[in-house]
């Protein structure tokens, strides 16, 4: 999975799915990667920024000493574990900040470590822990600023004003709000990625199904013709060489056409998205289909004229007629079939009849051919009815809409 940088530019960032969810490529198999770089930058900023804050608040707050620097370092370095133990790090940074402020050290970037840890905890799903850590820090600061300040450094410190408490509370609420916003955006991103992955799998499945249908229809029809003509050629090879020659000619033509159509289907796999080299077959090639059926010993009568159809519907109609005639050749004892085309302003009705009887049990039952016809019709919003007729034989009736469905 690739994701472009902000604004669609920059180098792509690769992601993979693991036991800890979607992580950047390079995460360890046992958990998220260690955020060394960001932790180092934040720690340096907290230490350096606190020096400037101490200079600005000189005389008001206690000067930075080794204990203060240790507390700042603990708050910054603990962020290294924020992806693996987000709840513990949120409480750890809040506790370090509370001790730092309780010791009278100057206000400053120490809150940044708390903000980053709580943000990571909320995004990771530990919302209660993050909010509890923020609440603990605010309650502790309130207690120190309005009661414990008498016994805590710096000496002679007065109670904090309620206006400053409002500022501190506002910052903490802002931290929580930004964390919730980040969590919501992350969940939305995860849902979008999951939907895109499902859509990609669905498109791949549909394409595989389409190719399987095309190959089945092409090969089943052509191989049926070849099988029948091969039998005729073998039977007449000695007694009627001319008829045997005609059968071999039909086999050659059928195999050449099958190879061409199979090549066209496979070309879509080799060069996805390219325009096909040859037009897809449609009802305009119905006379060729009738001629091929005649070569297999099946007489086909066609009544009605096909209307103008969209390419997808035209291909589906052709394949349905092709598969129905193939089933007659393979499964019916009849050597005569009828194809009837009727249409109005809304739909095309294709009816293929034969007089039977079936040569095998459950001819035309639930095989791949009928399943493929039903899938083609359903994809266009149409229907297929197939089954024995009351007076013998078998009927395939397809109803295809003349207008493509808007949701397709």
3-state secondary structure the chain: CEECCHHHCCCCEEEEEECCEEEECCCCCCCCCCCHHHHHHHHHHHHHHHHHHHHHCECCECCCCHHHHHHHHHHHHHHHHCCCCHHHHHHHHHHHHHHHHHCCCCCCCHHHHHHHHHHHHHHCCCHHHHHHHHHHHHHHHHHHHHCHHHCCCCCCCCCCCHHHHHHHHHHHHHHHHHHHHHHHHHHHHHHHHHHHHHHHHHHHHHHHHHHHHHHHHHHHHHHHHHHHHHHHHHHHCCCCHHHHHHHHHHHHHHHHHHHHHHHHHHHHHHCCCCCCCCCCCCHHHHHHHHHHHHHCCCEEEEECCCCCCCHHHHHHHHHHHHHHHHHHHHHECCCEEEEEEEECCCEEEEEEEECCCECCCCCCCCCHHHHHHHHHHHHCCCEEEEEECCCCCEEEEEEEECCCCCCC
Rounded to an integer, what distance in angstroms lies between the CA atom of residue 120 and that of residue 127?
10
Distance of CA 329 to the CA centre of its chain: 42
Give the integer Cα–Cα distance in Å for 155 and 103: 11
CA 324 to chain centre: 35
Task: Please state whether the predicted TM-score (pTM) of the whole model is above 0.85.
Answer: no
pLDDT computed for residue 164 by the predictor: 67
Phi–psi pair at 136, nearest 5 degrees: -60, -45
Q: Compute the residue count for the chain.
A: 408
Q: Can you give the pLDDT at residue 272?
A: 54
The rounded average pLDDT for each run of 10 residues, N- to C-terminus, in the chain (408 residues) is 41 43 47 86 93 86 90 94 93 92 86 90 88 87 71 62 71 78 84 89 80 73 73 78 78 75 66 56 85 82 87 85 84 86 89 79 54 83 88 88 60
pLDDT of residue 273: 53
* CA distances from residue 294 to 259, 261, 287, 356 in whole angstroms, order as listed: 20, 20, 10, 17
Contact predicate 286/321, CB 8 Å? yes
Report the alpha-carbon distance of residue 171 to residue 165 in Å, rounded: 10
pLDDT of amino acid 367: 57
Q: What per-residue confidence (pLDDT) applies to 263?
A: 72
Q: Which residues contact 4 (CB under 8 A, 6 or more apart)?
A: 10, 12, 13
pLDDT at 264: 67
> What pLDDT score does 268 carry?
60
Q: What is the pLDDT of residue 16?
A: 47
Say what the pLDDT of residue 152 is.
Answer: 65
pLDDT (0 to 100) of residue 44: 94
Report the distance separating Cα 270 and Cα 41, nearest Å: 49
Q: Which is it for the CA torsion 265, 271, 274, 277, positive or negative?
A: negative
CA atoms within 13 A on the CB side of 179: 29
The arrangement of strands across the sheet holding 383-388 comes to 299-303, 336-343, 347-354, 394-401, 383-388
């Amino acid at each position: 999975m690739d994701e472009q940088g902000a604004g669609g530019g920059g180098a792509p960032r690769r992601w993979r799915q693991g036991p800890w969810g979607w992580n950047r490529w390079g995460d360890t198999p046992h958990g998220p990667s260690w955020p060394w770089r960001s932790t180092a930058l934040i720690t340096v900023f907290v230490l350096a920024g606190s020096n400037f804050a101490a200079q600005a608040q000189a005389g008001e707050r206690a000067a930075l000493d080794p204990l203060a620097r240790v507390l700042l370092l603990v708050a910054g370095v603990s962020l290294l574990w924020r992806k693996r133990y987000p709840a513990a790090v949120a409480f750890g940074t809040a506790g370090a900040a509370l001790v730092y402020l309780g010791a009278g050290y100057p206000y400053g970037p120490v809150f940044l470590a708390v903000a980053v840890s709580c943000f990571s905890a909320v995004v990771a799903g530990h919302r209660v822990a993050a909010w509890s850590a923020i609440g603990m820090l605010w309650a502790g600061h309130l207690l120190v600023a309005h009661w414990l300040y008498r016994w805590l450094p710096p000496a002679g410190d007065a109670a904090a004003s309620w206006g400053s408490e409002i500022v501190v509370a506002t910052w903490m609420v802002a931290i929580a709000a930004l964390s919730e916003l980040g969590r919501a955006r992350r969940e939305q991103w995860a849902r979008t990625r999951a939907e895109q992955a499902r859509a990609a799998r669905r498109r791949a499945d549909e394409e595989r199904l389409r190719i399987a249908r095309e190959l089945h229809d092409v090969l089943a029809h052509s191989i049926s013709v070849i099988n029948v003509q091969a039998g005729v050629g073998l039977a007449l090879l000695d007694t009627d060489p001319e008829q045997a020659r005609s059968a071999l000619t039909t086999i050659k033509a059928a195999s050449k056409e099958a190879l061409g159509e199979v090549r066209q289907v496979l070309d879509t796999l080799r060069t996805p998205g390219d325009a096909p080299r040859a037009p897809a077959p449609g009802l305009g090639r119905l006379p060729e289909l009738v001629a091929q059926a005649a070569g297999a010993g099946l007489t086909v009568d066609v009544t009605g004229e096909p209307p103008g159809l969209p390419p997808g519907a035209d291909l589906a109609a052709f394949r349905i007629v092709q598969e129905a005639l193939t089933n007659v050749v393979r499964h019916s004892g009849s050597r005569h079939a009828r194809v009837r085309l009727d249409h109005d302003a809304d739909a095309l009705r294709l009816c293929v009849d034969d007089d039977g009887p079936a040569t095998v049990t459950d001819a035309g039952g639930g095989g791949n051919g009928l399943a493929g016809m039903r899938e083609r019709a359903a994809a266009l919003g149409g229907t297929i009815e197939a089954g024995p007729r009351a007076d013998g034989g078998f009927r395939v009736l397809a109803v295809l809409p003349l207008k493509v469905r808007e949701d397709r």
